Amino acid sequence: MAKSKRPLISINPLNGETLKTYREMSREDIDKAIGRADKAFAGWSRQSFSERAIILKRAGKLFEERNEALSRLMAQEMGKKISDGQGELALCAEIFEYYAEEGERILAPQHLSTREGEGTLMFQPLGVVYGIQPWNFPFYQPARFTAANLIAGNVVLTKHASNVPQCAEAFAQLLFDAGVPEGVYTNLPITSGGAAPIIDDDRVKGISFTGSNTAGAMVAEQAGRNVKKTVMELGGVDPFIVLEDADMDLTIQRFVEGKLGNCGQICLAAKRIILTEPIAEEFLGRVTKLFQSLKPGDPLKENTDYGPLCTEKAAEELEAQVNKSVKAGAQLLAGGRRNGAFMEPGILTEIPKGSPAAEE
């Protein structure tokens, strides 16, 4: 692989230890990888559903067999609690098993009968598809993208997040061990700067992106100029609304699960809590007390309540958002302090418009 200006560094957010360093793929190597994928499409798309399903089933089995090792890798590379990682990998196994069993049925030709006459709806593979993946679920996110495309007969290029290169490498190795042919799945160890030329390449027929609204807008604009199919999963500000008739014990349990799972680093985590006045004091009091009782720790240990964020930089950015919000007039009821990559679970109230807590 040609030498690159920027390495991809795997860092343990628990202690800042550098685990492994990768060289970024050169533009020449990217071009060769796209060429191999384009060439592999002809053979893979001609295989029957049952032939492709056999490989997907093997991949699902390997996710089960490697659950312990891969969940430990996630804990070390991005700080995910070991129990959360085990659940993620179990879901990956289910995804590959589902598409292996149901893919042919889902994509079977459909007879159409209309006032204008009879017809048949056919599903055909596109070719080379390119997935830009996030770091928060380094196995689940590429699993749901890859399994669906492989059973459909597409071939896959994946650019994973720069801070989880070991997970990206392990995902690719698992597929190769399951029997995925060379070129049918390709991990591209590149940074964001290397992603743009791939979207422009005529051999790439579709783009899938999961990430921020800002980056998604750039990807969608570029894909639009090339008139390419896109699937975009972007950020949100999901509300958690509590009314007077709520079962408070169950509601608080669900809130904590929805807010603190994966340290809150989930697109659909509860981001805004909206309370009706009669129950606001009780809810805030109980949740504040609960947050204050949670203990940070090594994500590899079962008794850890929460681990570090994915990187120390992410924790620094979150700390700055909290501080700016407080300076603007928000009230910090609990937590909100940073220690390295760890961030205490916190509660902000009286949030003014225009503050980071309201707008970001």
- The Cα–Cα gap between 73 and 79 comes to 9
3 state DSSP class of 45: helix
Give the span between the Cα atoms of 277 and 25, in whole angstroms.
55
Q: Are 34 and 198 in contact (CB under 8 A)?
A: yes
117 found inside a domain: no
Q: Taking residues 351-358, report their average pLDDT.
A: 93
Mean pLDDT of 327-351: 94
Known catalytic residue at 92: no
Domain hosting residue 213, numbered range: 7-104+125-233
Residues 281 and 305 in one domain: yes
**Which residue is listed with tokens 């302090």?**
337
Task: Say whether both 328 and 216 belong to one domain.
Answer: no
Q: Are residues 293 and 353 in the same domain?
A: yes
CA distances from 329 to 96, 322, 354 (A): 48, 11, 11
State the catalytic residue, choosing from 64, 101, 104, 233: 233
Q: How far is CA 140 from CA 95, 159, 216, 341, in A?
A: 9, 14, 19, 23
The CB-side HSE value for 320 (13 A sphere, CA atoms) comes to: 7
Residue 142 CB neighbours (<10 A): 26
The model carries a pTM of 0.92
- The residue ranges of DSSP E strands in 4-106, in sequence order, are 7-12, 17-23
pLDDT for the residue numbered 10:
96
Residues 42-77: pLDDT tens digits? 999 999 999 999 999 999 999 999 999 999 999 999
> How far, CA to CA in Å, does 1 sit from each of 22, 25, 189?
11, 7, 11
State the catalytic residue, choosing from 267, 312, 317, 319: 267
Q: Is the pLDDT of residue 280 over 70?
A: yes
Strands 229-233, 204-210: pairing is: parallel
213 lies in a domain?
Answer: yes
Domains contained in the chain, number: 2
Domain boundary among 194, 216, 233: 233
Task: Note whether 38 and 182 are within 8 A (CB).
Answer: no
Cα(78)–Cα(134) distance, integer angstroms: 12
Which CATH number characterizes residue 301's domain? 3.40.309.10
Q: How many angstroms separate the CA atoms of 244 and 275, rounded?
A: 9
Identity of the residue numbered 154: N
Beta sheet of 204-210, edge-to-edge order: 185-187, 155-159, 128-132, 204-210, 229-233
Q: Is 267 a catalytic residue?
A: yes
- Quick one: pLDDT at residue 5? 54
The pLDDT score that the predictor gives to residue 2 is 42
Running DSSP on this structure, what letter comes out for residue 261?
A: G
Q: What is the pLDDT of residues 264-278, one digit of tens each?
A: 999 888 888 999 999
Residue 1 lies in a domain: no
Q: Looking at the structure, do residues 206 and 253 belong to the same domain, yes or no?
A: no
